[in-house]
Structure 1
Amino acid sequence: MKITETVLKGCYIFEPHVIEDERGVFFESFKKNELENALGHTIDFVQDNQSISKKGVLRGLHFQKGKAAQAKLIRVIDGEVLDVVVDMRTDSPTYSEHFKINLSGWNKKILFIPKGMAHGFLALSDRVVLAYKCDNYYHPEAESGIVYNDKSLSIDWEFPDKDLILSDKDLKLPKFSEL
């Protein structure tokens, strides 16, 4: 498995070794020891989540606060997304910066997001099936986020605003400066 750290410290891209033949495709999407070797510490995932979205759906930018903060391991099973991560760690040299990557069922890239980062994605294909592991349980009272179009973050979602599909909740999220 190829492992690459992104411009955000502690945020990694995992590219599995893919075996393909006349029967189809096989790859290992998660190996605890390889993830922990890259991180330099142990991690225990306690919750698996899955979302199914149609083209134009933007989910995020979400995070959990305090003791409920979550590290996530994200992969697209089917379709393609533009995945965005924002560094919320005030002690980080990349505080308030973001990273973008296309994740898809065909490129099979897997993204590890450490605690202290906001995360969102935009469905680029007609149907997207996205799965992710979390190292902490979801706590609704600790949920927060940043509005997707906060000008201070300068995120180019590479998609016309008029065609985006967002929840009312995500449209009402605060700006980065309001957190």
Structure 2
Amino acid sequence: MEIRELSVPGAWEFTPRQFGDDRGVFLESFKASEFEKAVGRPFDLRQVNVSTSAAGVLRGIHYTQNPPGQAKYVTCVRGAFLDVVVDLRPTSPTFGRWDAVVIDDENRRSVYLSEGLGHALLSLEDGSTVTYLCSLEYTPEFDGEIDAFDPAIGIEWPTVGRDGRPLTFNRSPKDAAAPLLADLNRTR
């Protein structure tokens, strides 16, 4: 497995080795020993989520108040997404920095983000499906969101899908009404 730390400290990209033959492909999507070596601690799995999205669906920027925070290990099992990580840790020297990785059903990369980081996904084709391994069960009172189009963050969202057709962004009403980064309570 190839492991690369992203430019946002506390976030990593995991690219598995794939073994294919005429029957299909096998890979290790998550391996605790490799994860722990890279991240420096075990992953405490508490919940697994699956989400399927049409092309242009933009989910996020979502975060969980820290503490307790929620770490995520995100893998695309079908289709393609742009996976975006944003540093939302109030005292971090990289507060507001973002990085992105294309995760898809070809390279089968995964992204890990530590507690305190924000997360957004843009589906790059219809029927794209992602799984999230989560370190905290869903706890709505800890959830928050930041506007994915906040110019202070400046995420460069693609406007064309994996098939070359233009993307029309589709967000939930809650995500569309999300506050700006400047409105985030940095004393949390």
The answer to whether the superposition gives a TM-score over 0.5 is: yes
* Contact 2:56–2:167 (Cα < 8 Å) also in 1: no
Where do 1:122-133 residues align within 5 Å? 122-133=122-133
Q: Distance in 1 between matches of 2:143 and 2:40?
A: 27
Question: How far apart are 1:92 and its partner, in Å?
Answer: 2.3
* Contact 2:55–2:167 (Cα < 8 Å) also in 1: no
Q: Secondary structure at the match of 2:152?
A: helix
Question: How far apart are 1:9 and its partner, in Å?
Answer: 1.2
Q: Distance in 2 between matches of 1:67 and 1:87?
A: 15
Structure 1 unpaired stretches of 5+:
none
* Contact 1:58–1:165 (Cα < 8 Å) also in 2: yes
Match of 1:82 in 2: 82
Q: Among residues 163, 170, 173, which one is paired with 1:165 in the alignment?
A: 170
Question: How far apart are 1:46 and its partner, in Å?
Answer: 0.8
Amino acid in structure 1 at the alignment position of 2:176: L
* Contact 2:6–2:12 (Cα < 8 Å) also in 1: yes
Amino acid in structure 1 at the alignment position of 2:181: F
Q: Secondary structure at the match of 1:12?
A: strand
Cα-to-partner distance string for 1:94-129 (whole Å, 9 max, x where unaligned):
211000111101110110111111100110012101
Question: How far apart are 1:162 and its partner, in Å?
Answer: 8.0
Q: Secondary structure at the match of 2:182?
A: helix
Amino acid in structure 2 at the alignment position of 1:80: A
Amino acid in structure 2 at the alignment position of 1:37: K
Paired residue total: 179
- State which drifts further: 119-128 or 38-47: 38-47
Match of 1:97 in 2: 97
Identity level (%):
36
* Contact 2:71–2:114 (Cα < 8 Å) also in 1: yes
Cα-to-partner distance string for 1:61-109 (whole Å, 9 max, x where unaligned):
0011133410000010000011111001133232110001111011101
Q: Distance in 2 between matches of 1:155 and 1:134?
A: 24
* Contact 1:72–1:114 (Cα < 8 Å) also in 2: yes
Match of 1:65 in 2: 65
Match of 2:18 in 1: 18
Higher helix share: 1
* Contact 2:86–2:119 (Cα < 8 Å) also in 1: yes
Match of 1:156 in 2: 156
Q: Distance in 1 between matches of 2:70 and 2:127?
A: 26
Q: TM-score, normalised by structure 2?
A: 0.91
Amino acid in structure 1 at the alignment position of 2:159: F
Q: TM-score, normalised by structure 1?
A: 0.96
What is the RMSD computed on CA atoms of the aligned residues? 1.4
Match of 1:46 in 2: 46
- State which drifts further: 155-164 or 88-97: 155-164
Q: Secondary structure at the match of 2:141?
A: helix
